[in-house]
Amino acid sequence: MKLYAVRILVNDWLSACEFYEQKLGLALEFKDESFGWAEFDVGGAKFGIERVDENSSSEDQALVGRFLGVSLQVDDVQLTYEELQAKGVEFVSLPKKEDWGGTLANFKDTSGNILTLMSENS
């Protein structure tokens, strides 16, 4: 068994696709507007960006705009933070060195989902 994709539910699919491709710089591997599904390479597994329409179930809608518990590892959180902030990415926390030695910073996508930048030793 291996991880194929992490599904990220969004309410503005086109804007989210642009965010993950243009602002984060992830490689787009598949995109189909009729399905409301796109896949981005994140170094093995994929991010599946899935559209949640306003007529979707309240359970699906409740999964948009929350802390995802997904960490993207980078070489230097401070440098990546500065680059993404210059592109207009909204951060909800500044880079912070953790007691275990790594550094974390949280940011939002266009639907309010919160993801984490992480480096082991920076």
- At 14, phi and psi to the nearest 5? -65, -45
Reading phi first (left if > 0) and then psi (alpha if -120 to 50, else beta), residue 69 is in left
pLDDT of residue 19: 98
- CA-to-CA separations, 107 to 28, 35, 80, 93, in angstroms, rounded: 20, 27, 11, 7
Q: Where are the domains of the chain?
A: 5-53+64-119
Question: Which CATH homologous superfamily contains domain 5-53+64-119?
Answer: 2,3-Dihydroxybiphenyl 1,2-Dioxygenase, domain 1 (3.10.180.10)
Reading phi first (left if > 0) and then psi (alpha if -120 to 50, else beta), residue 35 is in alpha
Residues of the chain with pLDDT under 50: none
pTM of the model: 0.92
pLDDT of residue 122: 56
